[in-house]
Amino acid sequence: MKKVFICVGTRPNFIKITRFERCLKAYPQIQYCLVHTGQHHDYNMSDVFFNELKLKTPDFFLNIHGGSQIELSAKIMVAFEKLILEEKPDLVLVPGDVNSSFACAFAASRNNIPLGHIESGLRSFDKTMPEEINRIMIDDVSDLFFVTEKSGLYNLEKEGKDTAATHFVGNTMIDTLVAYTADIDASKVLEQLNIAQNTYSLFTFHRPANVDNKENLEKLLELVSYATKFGYAIFPIHPRTKQRLIDFGLEEIFNNPKIIFSPPLGYFDFLKLVKNAKAVITDSGGIQEETTFLQVPCLTVRPNTERPITCEIGSNTLVELDIKTIANYLESIHSGTYKKGIVPELWDGKSTERICKAMAEYLGV
């Protein structure tokens, strides 16, 4: 029996690992253990996803949250090292680029436990982003590289990674979207918000460069207000963003009747809003992928992306935080002249199966 730890800690990562329990049933010689670091721990950011997506109850909950990025990562490393020394997993698998993934990857590597990285090879080439540093460092200590798009293959080869250990598998986030399409379609969130299909723009913002700077946050609010020219704006507001609005004295935006604010939403409700939006304006990573698969126009307010395929062939466009530029794109979206995009190769709902097959071969089972 081989023991595999899959480590998660944040909302985006829960979505990336939903199919492993089902897929690993084909490999009875692999014992799958889910480790939750606790980085996202409250109901809206964690529990609702476990409940909706029927994720197994974590086998190990480290209950580490709060503090600075360094403090959080250090606490996770200490707790996870203690766990792996006791449990002795044969392989640790981490998704994405969050601090939990980096901390678990580093602890596994220092204890000579083989490491696999889901979403390996993605690069924004912007080292001011903490996620970029995490991506690079996780790949530097990984033994198995699971790649979502061909830019990842190129980046890993350029960095000298072992091509025999590199697997182009597609996107596990899309596996979840495909598996739960019926549940997404059944969501009643449109009725609850009293909003019709294709009558609104959907906004999400949380990155420090956009919300921790008062001038930039004011520009974002100007953008949200401008979008109401075409209909409603729906803004499921991240706790970080809401706090910044309060800190900077910008609460007046809450009084605009054409802007619908909500707390962070569950997976089904949020994807129902994405699927039926006229446009999505975001600074998220994963939403670029979901909109590409759903072929929904997406404007990503960032200078770069680690997911270039979403712009090259998908429905995503990088835009600077400039109202005139974004207004022109919104005009093209609402006039029907914006690109539709196509779905990338291997984004077919079977990526988790490919990862499990590669893991089983690596472990010799």
Quick one: DSSP state of residue 254? G
Q: Are 156 and 139 in contact (CB under 8 A)?
A: yes
Other CB atoms within a 10 A radius of the CB of residue 181 amount to 13
Contact between 35 and 7 (Cβ < 8 Å)? yes
Nearest to 148 by CA among 175, 169, 117, 177: 169
Q: Which amino acid is at 347?
A: W
Asked about 238 being catalytic, the answer comes back as: no
Catalytic residue among 117, 167, 206, 238: 206
Q: Are 204 and 238 in contact (CB under 8 A)?
A: yes
- The H-assigned helical ranges of the chain are 11-16, 20-23, 48-52, 69-87, 99-110, 130-140, 150-158, 172-179, 181-186, 189-193, 208-211, 214-227, 239-247, 267-275, 286-294, 309-312, 323-335, 351-363
Report the largest interatomic distance among the alpha carbons of the chain, rounded to a whole angstrom. 60
> One-letter amino acid identity for 275?
K
Burial (CB < 10 A; 0-12, 13-18, 19+), residue 257, is exposed
Q: How far is CA 36 from the centre of its chain?
A: 16
Return the number of other C-beta atoms located less than 10 Å from residue 88's C-beta.
10
Taking alpha carbons only, the member of 332, 344, 194 closest to residue 260 is 194
Q: How many CB atoms lie within 10 A of CB 130?
A: 16
> Torsion angle, CA of 175/179/182/186, rounded to 10 degrees?
-70
Q: Which residues are catalytic?
A: 206
